[in-house]
Amino acid sequence: MSKEVELAEIHAGFPSPAEDFMDVALDLNKELVRNPSSTFFARVKGVSMIDDGVGDGDMLIIDKSVEPTDGCLAVCFVDGEFTLKRYRNMGDYALLMPANKDFKPIRVDADNQFAIWGVVRYLVKKV
Amino acid sequence: MAFVGLCDCNNFFVSCERVFRPDLEHKPVMVLSNNDGCIVARSNEVKALGIKMGTPLYQVRDLVKRHNISVFSSNYQLYGDMSARVMNILRQTAPGIEVYSIDEAFLNLEEMPVGKLQPFARELSARIRREVGIPVSIGISPTKTLAKIASKLCKQYPALKGGCLMYRTQDVEKVLARFPVGDVWGIGRRSRAKLEMLGVASALDFYNMKSAQVYNMFTVTGLRTWKELHGEPCIGFEDVQPDRQTVCISRSFAKEMTTVEELDAAISTFTGKVAEKLRKAHLCAEQMSVFILTNRFREDAPQNYQMKTTLFEVATDDTLEMSERAAQCLRQIFRPGYAYKKAGVLCTRLVPKRGVQASMLDTLDRNKRASLMDTIDAINKLEGNYTVRLASQGEMDQFSARAMTSRRFTTRWDEIMEVKI
């Protein structure tokens, strides 16, 4: 930042009319990562969420500080494996809903090793 | 009464690995030192097997197999980033913090009312566990030494839920009675041996000594610890960060090196790293040593240990100047016919950068070079380590063997988590 100031002073010609209106450039990091300490990135492999727009190779921006709500898109840990599904709270049990008619919902209850690892805040797709 | 907190990450390196491997929760896990030599972090399950810190891996191979222990090479990129996340949350929550090590920080809680401290500690502990995934133990007491003990209590008693406030005299005494004096912060191995001869085994025995006797035996440092145990703060908020006396980078190699060219690359890399460390700390070195040694565990091979020390006319932090000198040193000590296992660069006689004495005979334009170094550091910070480096410099990682390293989940795009769906 100090470099810019120096430049403006050295070039003694006509000052830029924009100088007094300088704004901070848009920063995607600030927009997509609200809480850097709790945000993690992950790459998707598979097609079980394709109807929700989540395709193979897409990148997930996961925030562990976000409280999971019914219906949220969440990275879950079930019986030794990570998966990405819509989380439905059914009271005594939970359903992990796929978005692809070839896949069935996963039912989890007290007998399963289950945790919501983090809530997906954004999806980054290369087009 | 003013309070101070200590936040300590539980089995930190192991916990970092478990964040990305939740299946290893409640299972035995350990992390090895650089080069996979010794054990530097153990999960509670591994501790329960009686495996000690620092044990060489080969001594416990059987146990690893029998108990199906998950073993990881150290992944310092990951641990460093996870540590920064924890520290950030502490910074956001506590009025003041002092980072003490990669997995510990003191919290300045002077202004917090006593009634709020216990819930504060528990909530903070729960928040770090939820948001970063790392379990921590937060001890709160009137002094740093007691806070350390309080944080250890959290580890023994899960019912404390990661937060322990300890300040009433009767509570403190009860805890100290069961706390080994050798585990008290500030009591070194030598002091412990002396104390044991006196029959002082628990922290309470030490606490019950007369202050004059403590002073006579352990001077003012020992007395400070004694007073801290009595709840009288003697270690302030910046006292614990002594001026750096030395900066050293050394590594054991995965494969032994026999040629001067191979060693050149290593020494150049280490020198670059040392110079960077000096610049970060705003220090310059008047003296630098380069050392190389053979594998002392190999009885079949000839042994050699060499060190060359050099002085700088003007104290320096300049990568180019230091690398050139380091290469000269190396050539003076290198002997063909030996297989070198380890090398290092050590800077001593450090002076603050601003206090560097200029020399009439100086051949370097130091201002120009300083701005070159600043630029290199700035680019490397922005674009990643080693983006700009000397042609002779390699990457630190290339010299160590780390066969069981997890991914650098948070610092490399091509190593982020993968979620199969």
Q: What is the CATH number of the domain that holds B175?
A: 1.10.150.20
Q: What are phi and psi of B248, to 5 degrees?
A: -135, 140
CATH class of the domain defined by A34-124: mainly beta
- Record the pTM: 0.77
pLDDT in tens, B198-216: 999 999 999 999 999 999 9
Asked if residue B324 is part of any domain, the answer here is yes
Query: Could you tell me the CA-to-CA distances from B232 to B3, B86, B169, B225 in Å, in that order?
Result: 11, 29, 12, 9
B252 and B301 both lie in a single domain: yes
B192 and B229 both lie in a single domain: yes
Closest chain A residue to the Cα of B126, Cα to Cα: A65
Q: Where does residue A14 rank: exposed (0-12), middle (13-18), buried (19+ CB within 10 A)? A: exposed
B16 and B139 both lie in a single domain: yes
Please name which of B323, B290, B316, B300 lies closest in space to residue B389, comparing C-alpha atoms.
B323
Predicted ipTM of the assembly = 0.84
B122 and B177 both lie in a single domain: no
A65 touches chain B (CB under 8 A): yes
Counted across chains A and B, CB pairs separated by less than 8 A come out at 69
Write out the catalytic residue numbers of A.
Answer: 48, 85
pLDDT in tens, A102-120: 999 999 998 888 999 999 9
pLDDT for position B399: 67
B288 and B388 both lie in a single domain: yes
Domain range annotation of chain A: 34-124
Closest chain B residue to the Cα of A106, Cα to Cα: B421
Per-residue pLDDT of chain B (421 residues; tens, 9 = 90+): 899 999 999 999 999 999 999 999 999 999 998 778 889 999 999 999 999 999 999 899 999 999 999 999 999 889 999 999 999 999 999 988 998 889 999 999 988 999 999 999 999 999 999 999 999 999 999 999 999 999 999 999 999 999 999 999 999 999 999 999 999 998 988 889 999 899 999 999 999 999 999 999 988 989 999 999 999 999 887 655 555 678 888 888 888 899 999 999 999 999 999 999 999 888 999 899 999 988 877 777 788 888 888 999 889 999 999 999 999 999 999 998 889 988 999 998 888 888 677 777 677 788 888 888 888 888 888 777 777 777 777 777 666 666 788 999 999 999 999 998 8
pLDDT for position B50: 94
pLDDT for position B183: 93
Residue at a domain's end among B167, B182, B203: B167
Asked if residue B210 is part of any domain, the answer here is yes
Q: Tell me the percentage of chain A whose pLDDT exceeds 90.
A: 70
pLDDT at A3 over 50: no
- The band of A1, judged by pLDDT with boundaries at 50, 70 and 90, is very low
Asked if residue B234 is part of any domain, the answer here is yes
Alpha carbon B120 to chain centroid distance? 27
Question: Which tokens go with A106?
Answer: 């996963």
Please name which of B128, B181, B134 lies closest in space to residue B25, comparing C-alpha atoms.
B134
- How many angstroms separate the CA of residue B17 from the nearest CA in chain A? 14
Instruction: Determine the Cα–Cα distance for residues B313 and B33; give it in Å rounded to an integer.
Output: 37
- How many angstroms separate the CA of residue B45 from the nearest CA in chain A? 19
| DSSP annotation string for B101-146 | ETTEEEEE-TTS-HHHHHHHHHHHHHHHHHHT---EEEEEESSHHH
B130 and B191 both lie in a single domain: no
Asked if residue B411 is part of any domain, the answer here is no
pLDDT in tens, A65-101: 999 999 999 999 999 899 999 999 999 999 999 999 9
Q: Where does residue B230 rank: exposed (0-12), middle (13-18), buried (19+ CB within 10 A)? A: middle
Chain B residues whose C-beta is within 8 A of a chain A C-beta are 22-23, 85-86, 88-89, 127, 130-133, 409-410, 413, 416-421
The number of domains in chain B is 3
B371 and B268 both lie in a single domain: yes
Residues facing B96 on adjacent strands? B108
Residue at a domain's end among B130, B145, B167: B167
The beta-carbon neighbor of B421 closest among A40, A83, A115 is: A83
CATH number of domain containing B12: 3.30.70.270
pLDDT for position B230: 96
Strand residues in A4-113 grouped as ranges (E): 39-45, 59-63, 73-78, 81-89, 94-97, 106-108
Closest chain B residue to the Cα of A99, Cα to Cα: B421
B185 and B266 both lie in a single domain: no
B148 and B134 both lie in a single domain: yes
Pairwise CB contact (< 8 Å): A44 & B421: yes
Asked if residue B406 is part of any domain, the answer here is no
Q: Best mutation site among A27, A38, A126 for testing chain B: the one with the most B CBs within 10 Å?
A: A38
The beta-carbon neighbor of A43 closest among B23, B89, B416 is: B416
Pairwise CB contact (< 8 Å): A42 & B23: no
B306 and B395 both lie in a single domain: yes
**Residue-range definition of the domain harbouring residue B211:** 170-242
Instruction: Determine the Cα–Cα distance for residues B147 and B205; give it in Å rounded to an integer.
Output: 19
B237 and B346 both lie in a single domain: no
Asked if residue B409 is part of any domain, the answer here is no
B154 and B283 both lie in a single domain: no
Do B144 and B156 touch, CB atoms closer than 8 A? no
Pairwise CB contact (< 8 Å): B419 & A59: no
